[in-house]
Amino acid sequence: MSGARHRKLAMLNLALFDLDHTLLPLDSDHAWGQFSVKIGWRDPETFAQANTAFYEQYKSGTLDIHAYVRFATQALRDLRGDVATQAAAAHAEFMASVITPAIRPSALALIDKHKAAGDILILVTATNSFVTAPIAKAFGLEHLIAVDLVLDANGIPNGDIDGVPSFREGKVTRVEQWLGERKLTWGDVSRSAFYTDSINDLPLMERVTHPVATNPDPNLRAIAQTRGWPVLELFND
């Protein structure tokens, strides 16, 4: 029995996917911010300015993830009444009007390829779980590692991050925690692929056996070319 279990674990293959500008041709967190302005939850001028500034910090690798999450969840914390119902309705509209039209056949085909190979697929994103949980479902991804939020007694984010944020080196930590929860380690993983566009994800790219620079930013593209990593363009249309 133990030998059979060992052989089974030795065949474990992981396919890890970043979300924003990797599976989606947009940044879901940034888009959610813009959407919150559209529905009147935030002041257009001040919010758009700060949202864009944080996004530029993310692209340059200088983002303070804790400050950003406090900013990104402010609209939810400012709601009154039945906040949970309002938030669910807004997210459903966000999915229908912004996310679903942006899901490309090329991204779905990549996911289907790994499913057909019997891999375990995990969405590993630095965007918070409120925004990304429905997106993971839309892609048919069972497992999600996202920035988890501390919730108040009513289930509303209080602005703090719960545990290690899945950002930069934190993505490696969170994948290791995911494995540990299943009594596994990297040693039980035969093959691990990670698809991402961002230089912020270099730590996890360096940890897996098959890093794939996907729609990469200029910094990641340069590193991929230097190290001989494959470059995948999903959104050439």
Catalytic residue among 18, 29, 119, 197: 18
Q: Beta strands 157-161 and 149-151: pairing type? A: antiparallel
Single out the residue of 134, 135, 137, 132 nearest to residue 149, CA to CA: 132
> Helix 28-38 vs helix 129-138: angle between axes, to the nearest 10 degrees?
110
Please, what is the angle between helix 28-38 and helix 65-72, to 10°?
30
Q: How far apart are CA 119 and CA 116, in angstroms?
A: 8
- Chain-centre distance for alpha carbon 192: 17
Respond yes or no: is residue 148 known to be catalytic. Answer: no
Q: How far apart are CA 123 and CA 17, in angstroms?
A: 5
- Asked if residue 32 lies in contact with residue 131, where contact means CB atoms within 8 angstroms, the answer is yes
> What is the four-CA torsion angle of 28, 34, 39, 41, rounded to 10 degrees?
100
Contact in structure between 127 and 20 (CB atoms under 8 Å)? yes
3-state helix, strand, coil in the chain (%, to 5): 55, 20, 25
Does the active-site annotation cover 20? yes
Which member of 20, 119, 197, 201 is catalytic?
20
Cite the active site residues. 18, 20
